[in-house]
Structure 1
Amino acid sequence: MSDVPEKYRSLRSFAFGDSPTLADELLELVLKGIKTATCSTEDEPNSSTPGERWIVLDGRGTPRCVIESTEVTHRRFGEVDAAFAHDEGEGDRSLAYWREAHLRYFTRLGKFREDMMLMCERFRLVEVFADSRVAS
């Protein structure tokens, strides 16, 4: 990770989503300041704590920015509210869109259950690395 500033090289890294295309789409929302939240299943290894910083990778695995967790809550799928759905920044930012998109996503992963527990995380963009435009 020589293209990552020294002060961030010890951070864990991840890419959003489950495909290079989705990783790039969600990263672009983060870089534009639209996406300030994300969620994952409880059993994923990317559990976070407030104040923790992460390197976000694009769909090719290239480091593009650093985010910092500001809030972590645990909620069942059906307990996610409109404010959180809006902060995830996807689609029309509605709760209905969020539910449909995440039902499809978690079903693809083989993990969807109506009562599944999610780690819901809000974050802030800390730094965008040089030339961090997402390739089209």
Structure 2
Amino acid sequence: MTAEELWKKSGLTGEYEAWGFGDDELTELVSSGKKTATSSAYACYEAEEEDLPEVGETSILLDDNDDAICIMRTTKVYTVPFKDVSAEHAAKEGEGDLSLDYWKEVHKEFFTEELEEIGESFSEDMLVVCEEFEVINV
């Protein structure tokens, strides 16, 4: 199903953004309800001159084949230094053993690669955009 088809089926109105994690394992965690949060490097928003997510925004999550999987609504957005991301947020991301140590390990690697693409370096003090969301059942 395409994003447009899912949006029409939902009966929701307004604007939405369709996007994917680029990793079907993360997509499955969202659709199963295990993943209710995500995070990204603040520097990437700045480099791409992109607005931060906002509470109430809706989006359609796509899998690696660009098929629409579910509709998500942002429920909370905040920015903290990497070193201050909480164990609660790490668990809400639904990955690995749900621990903060696991989250830091995989996100340090991910952010390092992502930041290199924009000429930036990873730092424990770098800002992380933490976003929480809910899946809207259709």
Q: TM-score range by the shorter chain?
A: 0.7 to 0.9
Aligned-residue CA RMSD (Å): 1.8
Matches within 5 A, 1:91-110: 91-109=96-114, 110=116
Aligned to 2:6: 4
SS in 1 for 2:102: helix
Select 1:53's aligned residue among 58, 71, 74.
58
Gaps in structure 1 of 5+ consecutive residues: 129-136
Aligned to 2:73: 68
Report the residue type matching 2:31 in the other structure: L
Report the residue type matching 1:126 in the other structure: I
Q: 2:28 & 2:113 partners in 1: Cα distance?
A: 22
Q: 2:33 & 2:24 partners in 1: Cα distance?
A: 14
| Larger relative helix fraction | 2
Aligned to 1:121: 131
Aligned residues, how many?
123
Percent identity over the alignment is 37
Q: Residue 118 of structure 1: CA displacement?
A: 1.0
CA pair 46-88 structure 1, distance change in 2 beyond 3 A: farther
SS in 2 for 1:113: coil
Q: 2:66 & 2:126 partners in 1: Cα distance?
A: 29
**C-alpha contact 2:15 2:58 (8 A) present in aligned 1:** no
CA pair 72-58 structure 1, distance change in 2 beyond 3 A: same
User: After TM superposition, where is structure 1 displaced by more than 4 Å over at least 4 residues in a row?
Assistant: none
Q: Which moved more, 1:43-52 or 1:97-106?
A: 43-52
SS in 2 for 1:3: helix
Gaps in structure 2 of 5+ consecutive residues: none
